């Protein structure tokens, strides 16, 4: 499943990089929660929680229905 997560993150990565940010996969917990770390401009952005939930989490859950949530590590 980690390969599927990386592939899905690679789809959203160009949008983040266009704004000077990035996302790093940290871990997949036993209860299917994905932990990521926002980097660059995204790390200090006041909109980062919205990006995390409405962008990254929504897209990952769409690609991989087994994922329950995406959280910041």
DSSP output for 39-55: EETTTT-TTHHHIIIII
| Token pair in block for residue 3 | 């390969």
pLDDT of res. 44: 84
The four Cα atoms 26, 63, 69, 49 give a dihedral, to 10 degrees, of: 80
Q: What is the CATH number of domain 2-72?
A: 3.30.300.130
pLDDT of res. 59: 94
Distance CA 63, CA 66 (A): 9
In 3D space, the residue among 54, 52, 51, 43 whose CA is nearest the CA of residue 21 turns out to be 43
Distance CA 8, CA 6 (A): 5
pLDDT of res. 10: 96
pLDDT digit string, tens, across residues 1-60: 999 999 999 999 999 999 999 999 999 999 999 999 999 999 888 999 999 999 999 999
Q: Where are the domains of the chain?
A: 2-72
pLDDT of res. 4: 96
């Amino acid at each position: 499943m980690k390969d599927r997560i990386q592939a899905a993150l690679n789809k959203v990565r160009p949008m983040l990089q266009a704004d000077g940010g990035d996302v790093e996969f940290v871990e997949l917990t036993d209860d299917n929660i994905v932990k990521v770390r926002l980097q660059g401009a995204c790390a200090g952005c006041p909109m980062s929680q919205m990006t995390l939930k409405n962008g990254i989490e929504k897209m990952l859950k769409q690609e991989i229905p087994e994922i329950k949530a995406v959280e910041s590590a």
